[in-house]
Structure 1
């Protein structure tokens, strides 16, 4: 296990890359960096979205370290440089969505908690935020606060168009469940890209309005194709929809006590910001803020939009001499 392209980021050369073995035998790539101050403010546990990888977050890691935080992160199973789950390495697949949560628990137990200074905070994007939310009730004593960037609480309408039809998320879930039932759970869903390089060009992309950052992230996949995955399988989609559905119950929402901030993007066409804001409004420990004009990948956006994200981060994640509240107002 190693970090690609790290030689172009000399100020990240002190990072430590290693691997843990999951409970079911898969290698999970991890990486940690110390803070750039003598007395760190704590550790940020950085959790990526679907189809992402550690290298994509080099700039974000630099930003966090300059703020006085250590950083701990890892590639989810089935993507990045962690072990893939199917013979076709491009398929975005998972057997059970709870497998992600078990990997998170193990990462915290083996890497973040013993090796990185407290207090520990969660910073999660999209799918990573969904995984963290499903696990948050049992992490109350582990993470002081969490910041969730464009969490995958509901798929945006633009992504729910299959075969020219605007489908509800429940219809997509049922379709994926049917494919899974007839033995096609490991197949790509209809109308999804079979290749990570078939995605739209910058002019029509849904991820960021920053051209250089978009090109940088695409170049990673060209230079290191082993890090890339394509579209999700039917089984992944069914599992993800089931996890999103679970978040909607008031019983589950009442079990979240960790102070959390959801940051939504005003121009998000990957996840539904309205659903994320509603989740925040109905969950006592969760609040939300919107960055107008931003697309889905807020941390990869133009400078003026990233500044707003980091302002929200700085005001919510406590640093030195700032009180930490373990319960919401």
Structure 2
């Protein structure tokens, strides 16, 4: 596979820095989280790093198109096994990948448990490479994005660029504003100062190498569904190398810079791609009100809020997920309402 020239320009780590390698092309399967069969996996080179990619060909002819899964911070392909199966059942081809710095892709710092990136624009190189090396040669059009949290922020920035590859974008609790920060300006100044002083690779205060998916279910903020949470914990237990811990000061600084762009008055005017924006009423990771404000400023967007659902609506209880899929089926052309059974309890 040959990534685009733009990806080559953006694809390396900073001069004098060495990315650690945590590469694993093989997908991990556990009984609680079965994978759709016939996945085609690869490691895609982008400059000095590689990202892990999986794709599934559509099971129907003609295909309804291709859905690209853009995961959130700290996530990896296997976590979206159920979602991939549901998209295949709807007639789509599916592409999933691990962002640089997480999952089975190259890490950007020596301690691979740190969630680090110095500039979110680096993630756009990952999307460019997916387009040129995966979508264009292998995947039927139209192309759609299903993007969650951090992946949603990256998809938003991509849509505001010159050449959006997607015909439509579905955003699941996009990271446009972080929830519940008591002093956001002070926290942003701290992250910025740490980065300028060369301390950007330190964990955020209180952060550790422990994955959020290894917390006791009662203390998690991601989902109220115990069986799906148990599946994710089982994945991390089976393949701890796929997980990362807390973000670094550099990641936080880069995230604040990225989100600041979204609040510019002129930013939404640059987005012409139709969007479905899904927020969750009980989200305590990203700010639902911030998502609502952003969505109302977009030219061509629909907004729904799923009451009482936590941050990861795609990993939530079935009655929450049903609301998401009803909105998805109504928004994405060609989507069938036929879904496979929910995962076993």
Show the counterpart of 1:93.
116
Q: Does structure 1 residue 18 correspond to structure 2 residue 42? A: yes
Return the match for 2:140 from 117, 121, 145. 117
Return the match for 1:152 from 161, 175, 200. 175
Deviation at 1:138, TM superposition (A): 2.9
- For 1:136 and 1:51, the matched residues in 2 are separated by 23
Show the counterpart of 1:51.
74
- For 2:95 and 2:307, the matched residues in 1 are separated by 29
TM-score, normalization by structure 2: 0.87
Q: Give the 5 Å matches for 1:100-249.
A: 100-138=123-161, 142-157=165-180, 160=181, 166-168=182-184, 170-196=185-211, 200-249=215-264
Deviation at 1:262, TM superposition (A): 0.6
- Asked if structure 2 preserves the Cα contact closer than 8 Å seen for 1:148 and 1:260, the reply is yes
Deviations 1:126-149 (A, max 9, x none): 000001101112365521100000
Return the match for 2:286 from 255, 271, 275. 271
- Asked if structure 2 preserves the Cα contact closer than 8 Å seen for 1:93 and 1:236, the reply is yes
| Cα 1:15–1:251 shift into 2, 3 Å | same
Deviations 1:9-42 (A, max 9, x none): 77722110011111x3101000100122121100
| Cα 1:227–1:141 shift into 2, 3 Å | closer
Deviations 1:77-136 (A, max 9, x none): 000000001110100001211000111111112112221100000100000000110111
- Asked if structure 2 preserves the Cα contact closer than 8 Å seen for 1:258 and 1:285, the reply is yes
Deviation at 1:255, TM superposition (A): 0.5
- For 1:260 and 1:278, the matched residues in 2 are separated by 14
- Asked if structure 2 preserves the Cα contact closer than 8 Å seen for 1:136 and 1:256, the reply is yes
Show the counterpart of 2:83.
60
- Asked if structure 1 preserves the Cα contact closer than 8 Å seen for 2:279 and 2:291, the reply is yes
Q: Give the 5 Å matches for 1:37-48.
A: 37-48=60-71
3-state SS, counterpart of residue 43 of structure 2: strand
CA RMSD in angstroms comes to 1.8
Size of the aligned set, in residue pairs, is 312
Deviations 1:227-251 (A, max 9, x none): 0000000000000110001011122
- For 2:140 and 2:212, the matched residues in 1 are separated by 39
| Cα 1:293–1:139 shift into 2, 3 Å | farther
Show the counterpart of 1:326.
none
Deviations 1:221-280 (A, max 9, x none): 111011000000000000011000101112221100000011000100000011011001
- For 2:34 and 2:260, the matched residues in 1 are separated by 43
- For 2:333 and 2:213, the matched residues in 1 are separated by 41
| Cα 1:135–1:35 shift into 2, 3 Å | same
TM-score, normalization by structure 1: 0.91
- For 1:121 and 1:274, the matched residues in 2 are separated by 25
- For 2:232 and 2:29, the matched residues in 1 are separated by 12
Show the counterpart of 1:163.
none
Stretches of structure 1 lacking an aligned partner (at least 5 in a row): 161-165, 322-329
Deviation at 1:187, TM superposition (A): 0.3
Q: Does structure 1 residue 80 correspond to structure 2 residue 103? A: yes
Return the match for 1:310 from 298, 315, 325. 325
- Asked if structure 1 preserves the Cα contact closer than 8 Å seen for 2:56 and 2:95, the reply is yes
- Asked if structure 2 preserves the Cα contact closer than 8 Å seen for 1:36 and 1:69, the reply is yes
- Asked if structure 2 preserves the Cα contact closer than 8 Å seen for 1:6 and 1:13, the reply is no
Return the match for 2:265 from 247, 250, 258. 250
Which 10-residue stretch deviates more, 279-288 or 259-268? 279-288
| Cα 1:25–1:156 shift into 2, 3 Å | same
